[in-house]
Amino acid sequence: MKILNVVGTRPNFVKIAPIMAEIARHPDLRGTLVHTGQHFDDAMSDAFFRDLDIPPPDHDLGVGPGTHAEQVARTMLAFEPVLETERPDWVVVVGDVNATLAATLVAVKRGVPVAHVEAGLRSFDRNMPEEINRVLTDAAADLLLTPSADADENLRREGIPESRIHRVGNVMIDTLLRRLPEAADRPVLRKIGLTPREYAVVTLHRPSNVDVPETLGGLLAIFGRIAERLPVIFPAHPRTRARIAEAGLVVPPGVQLLPPLGYLDFLKLWSESRLVLTDSGGLQEETTALGVPCLTLRERTERPVTVTQGTNRVVGTDAGTILSAVAETLATERLPIRPPALWDGHTASRIVAVLKTPTSP
């Protein structure tokens, strides 16, 4: 059986690594990898292949940056001939990025079954480009592999038949648990001069937070206020760094802007921090898995289980709300870890088991 896996952006690499490794353990399976090239810098792409031992892509589509229409259209045009050459039994797509949707559309229209890993998540905010990608990918894909019960419920509500829904757990946590011992040895805290549990980590890249100068400037000012209490370490996505420069914004004292970090250095950094402030979806899940307090700088989350069971609080972008949540977090002892069901490091083996089941659509 031939399984063609598609990735395009940084979070996709973290999800595909354990799936590729699991496929390689099965002599009756052959995995191929297509990188659409949506993320292309060494720090955003190659560093993750190295850290996570992902084999080099069999096909690199090189789509690069652009508007959503350009990225999706270029990916579709470049992916179609690859699909024709490879003729896989399954196409596996992960997450909610433009690569996910583009590959799904091409494959289903050519009659190749698609499995969507991380299906069923919904923010119910159609202003997020990812929400459109999620809804459309799930509507088209044949097999919907979900991380949590809320995702199953969202899919049922959209009229998707039970036979297409399989709960497998969270594949990002496979990578996290596997790489934690290696990350523990990274000297990144020493290099920056940080003491474990005595600093905060920030990440920010959502268009709604970084593309409007007033919003971005407001958030930087809030990080400055937090930095009066503890150092704030901010590895910045290229989009965010570009927006800070374009808007002529000044990074406040105590906030340390870093280039994007590789997976292992970043895991070491956030896992040893006192708290994380982020608009990333993956980091809400990862902090939940390790019990690190997380404040989500968005109005809503497509990952509610990180709030009901995990360490996440959705605080939006209002200064008063964020600063009081920070104060509360700093004054509170950490709660014991209660990871959601099936966030156990074995999701990739469940995914491959479903793909090998002859009754799968």
Min dist. Cβ of residue 240 to ligand UD1 (A): 8
Min dist. Cβ of residue 100 to ligand UD1 (A): 8
Q: Which residues bind ligand UD1 (CB under 6 A)?
A: 9-11, 38-41, 44-45, 65, 96-98, 129-130, 205, 237-239
Min dist. Cβ of residue 317 to ligand UD1 (A): 17
Is 269 exposed, middle or buried, given 0-12, 13-18 or 19+ CB atoms closer than 10 A?
buried
- Kindly report the three-state secondary structure assignment for every residue of 86-148: HCCCEEEEECCCHHHHHHHHHHHHCCCCEEEECCCCCCCCCCCHHHHHHHHHHHHCCEEEECC
51: nearest Cα among 173, 172, 179: 179
Min dist. Cβ of residue 6 to ligand UD1 (A): 12
Min dist. Cβ of residue 93 to ligand UD1 (A): 12
Min dist. Cβ of residue 67 to ligand UD1 (A): 8
Q: Considering 35, 205, 237, 346, which one is annotated as catalytic?
A: 205
Residue 66 CA to residue 39 CA, distance in Å, equals 11
Nearer to ligand UD1, 66 or 224 (CB): 66
Q: Which residues contact 282 (CB under 8 A, 6 or more apart)?
A: 11, 14, 172
Nearer to ligand UD1, 34 or 355 (CB): 34
Please report how the helices 129-140 and 98-109 are oriented relative to each other, as an axis angle in degrees rounded to 10: 20
Nearer to ligand UD1, 10 or 116 (CB): 10
Nearer to ligand UD1, 41 or 158 (CB): 41
Amino acid at 45: S
Residue 48 CA to residue 260 CA, distance in Å, equals 11
Is residue 205 flagged as an active site residue? yes
Q: Cβ of 214: how many Cβ atoms within 10 Å?
A: 8
Nearer to ligand UD1, 56 or 111 (CB): 56
Q: Cβ of 335: how many Cβ atoms within 10 Å?
A: 10
Structure tokens at 245: 């420069």
Alpha carbon of 194 to those of 117, 265, 293, 308: distances in Å? Answer: 36, 13, 18, 31
34: nearest Cα among 97, 100, 96: 100
Min dist. Cβ of residue 42 to ligand UD1 (A): 8
Nearer to ligand UD1, 268 or 298 (CB): 298
168: nearest Cα among 94, 226, 72: 94
Nearer to ligand UD1, 44 or 61 (CB): 44
Q: Please identify every residue annotated as catalytic.
A: 205
